[in-house]
Amino acid sequence: MTDTARGSSRRYGTRPTMKDVAARAGVGLKTVSRVVNGEPGVTPDTERRVQEAITALGFRRNDSARILRKGRTASIGLVLEDLADPFYGPLSRAVEEVARHHGALLINGSSAEDPAREQELVLALCARRVDGLVVIPAGDDHRYLAPEIAAGVATVFVDRPAGRIEADTVLSDSFGGSRDAVAHLLAHGHRRIGFIGDQPRIHTAKERLRGYRTAMAAAGLPVDDAWVSLGTTEPERVHTAARAMLDAPEPVTALFAGNNRVTVTLVRVLRQCTAPVALVGFDDFELADLVSPAVTVVAQDAARMGRTAAGLLFRRLEGADEPPRREEIPTRLIARGSGEIRPAHD
């Protein structure tokens, strides 16, 4: 009895088209198109008849056809590493906000830090003819994107630079932020400082390591190989690395964590420690002020990165024909006490 959706001549799963609407309203196809798109040149009376037919049939314009015809999809793709990572939440939210403001939808996927998957995802998005792409790259060779960019897909890389290709890029100041973080620890008297970071093939991990080394060198301090550990951010790995540094004959008195997840794991590790160990983390996290001791961090502004990236993207889409830009978002040291607590007595 509920045959709103299955009019006499249409099968289940088949949707009404403009043709059906036109037939029912007794007008031409193009007139329906005009009404649907709010184009001028339709009598109020005709418009009403068409509207009635539309509601009666439950018609909804098929955007695939529209896209095919018009060439623009009003959607942008976002490829990041892991939707569940708290760093990417505000970032994707910001991108979405800007996209929405421009009437575009967001399609996204996680690369899980796998370059092959990144490429697969990006190309799938290109096949959908997204108007633009925001990519947090997992790989380091993006030449596969060259034809797409040449074809007009606006592309912005975020958090890490593109590999072997020129493109707009939005980074946070990993080097400077890390240098500041380590300088903060040095200023509080620490001399043996460990660095636990992400996998060395990741650009930010390298930059943060460089910041660490630079700060140490600037203070005229040597860096023991045993004080540096790069690798996955899995808790076990981080735990093992930290223990090694803490249980050494000359243990570190402070740790600098290369990202979010490392920091959290280190908070857990240090909580088991009897000896006081200072901790500074790269990237802020919720409740950093509430754990004890509160964790000093170098905060990055993920939302601003997302906004900036999306901004660049839409500027391109609106025809800006400038050379690729590279924006660097500054970081901010938020001292919360974990650096100061019980300055080293070395």
Partner DNA sequence: ACCCCAGGTGACAACGTTGTCCAGCGGCTA
Partner DNA sequence: TAGCCGCTGGACAACGTTGTCACCTGGGGT
Which spans of this chain sit near its own copies (rule: CB under 8 A)? 2, 4-6, 12-15, 58, 60-65, 67-68, 73, 75, 82-86, 88-90, 92-93, 96, 100, 105-110, 123-129, 146-148, 150-152, 264, 267-268, 271, 285-287, 290-292
Question: Which one of residues 37, 55, 272, 274 is an interface residue with DNA (CB under 7 A)?
Answer: 37
> Which residues are CB-contacts of 238 (< 8 A; sequence separation ≥ 6)?
196, 231, 261, 262, 265, 266, 269
Q: Is residue 36 involved in binding DNA (CB under 7 A)?
A: yes
> Of residues 175-214, which lie at the interface with DNA (CB under 7 A)?
none
The answer to whether the CB of 24 falls within 8 A of the CB of 57 is yes
- What is the nearest approach in angstroms of its own copies to the Cβ of residue 20? 13
- What is the nearest approach in angstroms of its own copies to the Cβ of residue 223? 29
d(CA 51, CA 162): 49
The answer to whether the CB of 284 falls within 8 A of the CB of 297 is yes
Q: Is residue 27 involved in binding DNA (CB under 7 A)?
A: yes
Residue placing its CB nearer to DNA in the complex, 27 or 167: 27
The answer to whether the CB of 204 falls within 8 A of the CB of 329 is no
Q: Which residue has the tokens 């990741």?
A: 202
Q: Is residue 38 involved in binding DNA (CB under 7 A)?
A: no
d(CA 198, CA 204): 8
**What is the pairing mode between strands 168-172 and 193-197?**
unpaired
Q: Is residue 29 involved in binding DNA (CB under 7 A)?
A: yes
Residue count, binding to DNA (CB under 7 A): 31
Residue placing its CB nearer to DNA in the complex, 30 or 201: 30
**What is the pairing mode between strands 132-135 and 278-282?**
unpaired
Question: In terms of Cα–Cα distance, which of 251, 238, 156 is closest to 199?
Answer: 238
How many C-beta atoms surround the C-beta of residue 55 within 10 A? 9
H-type helices in 102-173, by residue range?
Answer: 115-127, 146-150
Q: Is residue 124 involved in binding DNA (CB under 7 A)?
A: no
Q: Is residue 40 involved in binding DNA (CB under 7 A)?
A: yes
Of its own copies, DNA, none, which one does residue 86 interact with (CB within 5 to 8 Å by kind)?
its own copies
Of DNA, its own copies, none, which one does residue 33 interact with (CB within 5 to 8 Å by kind)?
DNA
Of DNA, its own copies, none, which one does residue 131 interact with (CB within 5 to 8 Å by kind)?
none
Of its own copies, DNA, none, which one does residue 237 interact with (CB within 5 to 8 Å by kind)?
none
Dihedrals phi, psi of 162, to nearest 5 degrees: -75, 155
Question: In terms of Cα–Cα distance, which of 328, 253, 267, 329 is closest to 297?
Answer: 267
> Of residues 56-115, which lie at the interface with DNA (CB under 7 A)?
59, 61-62, 65-66, 68-71
**What is the pairing mode between strands 332-334 and 296-299?**
antiparallel
Residue placing its CB nearer to its own copies in the complex, 64 or 232: 64
- Residues at the interface with DNA (CB under 7 A): 14-15, 17-19, 22, 26-31, 33-34, 36-37, 40-43, 45-46, 59, 61-62, 65-66, 68-71
